[in-house]
Structure 1
Amino acid sequence: MDLEERVAELERRLAVLEEARRVSPTVGEADFWALDGLKQRLTDAGAADGGVLFTGAVRLPEGERYEWQYGALTERLLDDDWTEAADAFAALGHPVRLRLLREIVGGRRTAAELAELEGLGTTGQIYHHLRQLTAAGWLHTTGRGRYEVPAARAVPLLVVLTAARP
């Protein structure tokens, strides 16, 4: 590739990045409307220790749309038994299970479709991982060997993935 072609390719890539930023702007410092609303509700409720809120409105690649929110008071969260969340986190703690979730969210819904993918192991290993994800509530079966992320888990899954980013 000569210099002119390389420059043209870089310009094309830059245009794609600029368009993506224009279409999906990042949240700025002044855009804490959700946090401001949460703080007002906590003040109104007399919750001096604060709380957390996570929410989302998503459309998945297969067209499913989910709107979801959940909030909890800090006091309750600190008093809860955190070990009860161990199974849910453990199920997400394996790279193959995370890949299976990503593929299922992306539209590959059957064990046969998943088995066709490279790097996921044998069919038996795939079923083992699918059982663990199902037992932890990250998946459910919809019949005939089809899997999907339950509606109540779609946004929380994306929240957990967002929280895990460096």
Structure 2
Amino acid sequence: MSDTDRLAALERRVAELEQRLDSRPGDDRPARTPDAELFWALEGLLARVDDPGAVLLTGHVTLPDGRRARWQEGVGTEELLDSDWTQHVAALAALAHPARIRILQRILHGAGTAADLVQIDGMGTSGQVYHHLRQLVAAGWLHTAGGGRYEVPVARIVPLLALLLGTRR
């Protein structure tokens, strides 16, 4: 048997032993992620945070208007579970209307004024658009950028997209 063959056989045996250790019943250690390449962010979180764990949101986005958002936030599981979730109701409620979601999507694609938004099919009158804009501004999902333009604050772009991604599950 060549040295190369012996090394390959040894690597296989070590991999099998590691897999057995990771799947022992009654072991309190978290199992390794099935595909470390696919779950690279999760692997990084597991390496940094002990049980009971944490939730991490991260992303980088370049919008059609050239604005860039790079954002990350992590919170420990206990802190998140024990916090007052009701303080987030207004922000979530502001998103819970089809017209507001469409407004945010259009603004992220470059529409920025109420006049732009009134042109969206089925959006309604300018009064209705302003009502929705006020709700989104009050909840922090939009701010005025001057000249009658609205923008999603950079610090809210990735969290907004992460919320939408989370609804796919």
TM-score by shorter chain over 0.5: yes
Aligned: 1:146 with 2:149: yes
Report the secondary structure of 1:118's partner residue. Answer: coil
Residue-by-residue CA offset, 1:6-43 (whole Å, 9 max, x unaligned) = xxxxxxxxxxxxxxxxxxxxxx9432111011111113
Instruction: Provide the alpha-carbon RMSD of the alignment.
Output: 1.2
Whole-angstrom CA distance in 2 between matches of 1:58 and 1:117: 24
1:1-166 equivalent positions in 2, closer than 5 A: 29-30=35-36, 31-43=38-50, 48-166=51-169
Whole-angstrom CA distance in 2 between matches of 1:129 and 1:140: 13
Whole-angstrom CA distance in 1 between matches of 2:120 and 2:58: 32
Whole-angstrom CA distance in 2 between matches of 1:61 and 1:34: 26
**Runs of 4+ in structure 1 over 3 Å off:** none
Report the secondary structure of 1:108's partner residue. Answer: coil
Shift of 1:144: 2.0
Whole-angstrom CA distance in 2 between matches of 1:29 and 1:40: 15
Which of the two has higher C-alpha Rg? 2
Whole-angstrom CA distance in 1 between matches of 2:133 and 2:114: 9
In the superposition, the TM-score normalised over structure 1's length comes to 0.78
Residue-by-residue CA offset, 1:89-115 (whole Å, 9 max, x unaligned) = 000000000000000000000111111
Unaligned runs of 5+ in 1: 1-27
The sequence identity of aligned pairs, in percent, is 58
Whole-angstrom CA distance in 2 between matches of 1:158 and 1:59: 12
Shift of 1:58: 0.9
In the superposition, the TM-score normalised over structure 2's length comes to 0.77
Shift of 1:117: 2.0
Shift of 1:64: 1.1
